[in-house]
Structure 1
Amino acid sequence: MVEMLTQERHQIIVSHLKSRGICSVKELCSVTNSSQATIRRDLYELQQKGKLIRVRGGARSLDEFSSDVEQTIRFNLHVEEKKQIAQAAAMHVRDGDNIFIDAGTTTYEMIQFLRDKKDLTVVTNGIDAAIACIELGIRTKILGGTIKKKTHATIGTQTCQQLMQFNFNASFLGSNGLGSNGCYTTPDCAEADIKKQAVDCSKVTFILMDKSKIGIESFVNFAKVESVTLITDQLTEMDKKKIPKKTNIEEIN
């Protein structure tokens, strides 16, 4: 009974935030008839699930960030899940491989698990990823282009042209969502072009994405589910119902 009440309260909070954009703890107490301590706990839990962003004195809807979430915010969402997914992804990298890692925050977490790989080459369009690789002594190539402020990614025609010259053993990409249309999606056309090209240049492609993004469709499709493999955290029965048929999944237990 308590769990059902909590779920109902969470739904009200998320719905209210979507309509208002940003709300104070006091306002959310009023609409849910709850104490401040309860609301603060709810906001913490909902942020961990990637449903909202906590701000001083309240919370802000993720819808306001749906086009481009700041890198600093994304790094602090689903931290443990990202590390687990990243560690599983790193197991697909062998000594001597040439791989592509994009500018996602989950793919960034993967780099720490590559430190013992020998004769590895990483190509990336992520500035943060390139720095992390260099610090571990990994041979690194960063693609040129226009630097996107919010995601610290290089994008544009120049980036795609440089990417076309490579042949990768594997590519590792982030995604903003997996929709019912059977495609992985991202909000930005330019970043979608990079991801599409990476898939074309790779023998295999892995999508590193936590389960909170299942059922979410962003603006631009970049890969069909049957052409790549999803690495994600442990799925509930509800999550599994949202996943399109033909999806290749590696689920972390």
Structure 2
Amino acid sequence: MKVTRRREAMLQAVLGGMTDVATLCEHFGMSEATVRRDLRALARDNRVLRTYGGAAAVGSHEPEASLEERRISLREQKEAIAQEASTFVEDGDTVFLDGGTTTAALARLLAGRTAVHVVTNNLLVVSPLVSSGVQVTVIGGDVRPTSMSTLGPLAQIALSRLSVDKAFLGADGVVAELGLCEASSDQSYLKECVMRQAAHVFVLATADKLGRASQQHWAPLVRAWTLITDDAAQQEQLEPFDAQEQVTVRAVSVKAASAANWSSQVQ
């Protein structure tokens, strides 16, 4: 196969989800050196993003799922991640809850914890928290219907006047070397604002979002942070995060979390 045709085929494979070197070697029957050389060439042409152990699509735009689709997808995984995240919240904390359904699952676990102050742009969490007696500060701004979160200049200004002990962030995708990807610049920049104001940063992401560069706007993760994901994450997905000194990775067991939740409900 000619080099040009081979690299075009490799580009299509990366766009189709084959993002690690080992998988590409097996698929094309090529040596690791050849695959890496082709990926470097594609990266020089800005056709892919090089990542630790592979590559990610660049300039791609996946259609956003509706809010209802997000509510019902991977519900057990999100509940398990939220349960693990809740163990980091202590009485007296001021925490930020980002937009999204995984942070909404965390909010349900914080309901009734009146010693915790929640700052949020996630309109999905306001009612259950306020009705249970939790102090809530809502960041103003423009409402984004697909996530029911507030964004824009007003939200950014409000955040610059606040600080939080812990920030719990979601994302459309998480790439170890690049950060959090989002569908809009307002979303990505708001996450940057939050990270500047937080003593500790936690990213809540189901395994399908790891290494996923599904959108074009990025919030770099240039400080210490904790990734909380589920145990469907493969070793090759976790390796790029483990290689980053500033990242702590927690992959939680969905079955164990579901059993613990069922036991608590029975009691």
User: Normalized against structure 1, the TM-score is what?
Assistant: 0.70
Mapping of residues 67-146 of structure 1, within 5 Å: 67-146=63-142
State which drifts further: 97-106 or 132-141.
132-141
Alignment partners' CA distance in 1, 2:220 and 2:104:
20
Which residue of structure 1 lines up, in the alignment, with residue 217 of structure 2?
220
Which residue of structure 2 lines up, in the alignment, with residue 50 of structure 1?
none
Secondary structure of 1:172's counterpart equals strand
Superposed CA deviations along residues 66-87 of structure 1, whole A, max 9, x for unmatched, are: 3532211111111000000001
What one-letter code is carried by the residue in structure 1 that aligns with 2:234? Answer: T
CA-atom RMSD in angstroms: 2.1
Secondary structure of 1:232's counterpart equals strand
> Post-superposition shift, 1:241?
4.1
Which residue of structure 2 lines up, in the alignment, with residue 188 of structure 1?
184
Secondary structure of 1:154's counterpart equals strand
Mapping of residues 1-253 of structure 1, within 5 Å: 66-179=62-175, 181-217=177-213, 218-224=215-221, 226-234=223-231, 235-241=233-239, 243=241, 245-246=243-244, 247-253=247-253
1:180–1:232 Cα change, 3 Å: closer
User: Normalized against structure 2, the TM-score is what?
Assistant: 0.66
Alignment partners' CA distance in 2, 1:219 and 1:153:
19
Q: Percent identity?
A: 23
- Which of structures 1 and 2 has the larger relative contact order (alpha carbons within 8 angstroms, sep 6+)? 2
Superposed CA deviations along residues 91-146 of structure 1, whole A, max 9, x for unmatched, are: 11111111110111100000121135342111111111112211322111111111
Alignment partners' CA distance in 2, 1:87 and 1:105:
13
Q: Structure 1 regions of 5+ residues with no counterpart?
A: 1-14, 16-63
Secondary structure of 2:72's counterpart equals coil
Q: Structure 2 regions of 5+ residues with no counterpart?
A: 1-15, 17-59, 254-267
Question: Would you say how many aligned residue pairs link Structure 1 and Structure 2?
Answer: 192
Secondary structure of 1:127's counterpart equals coil
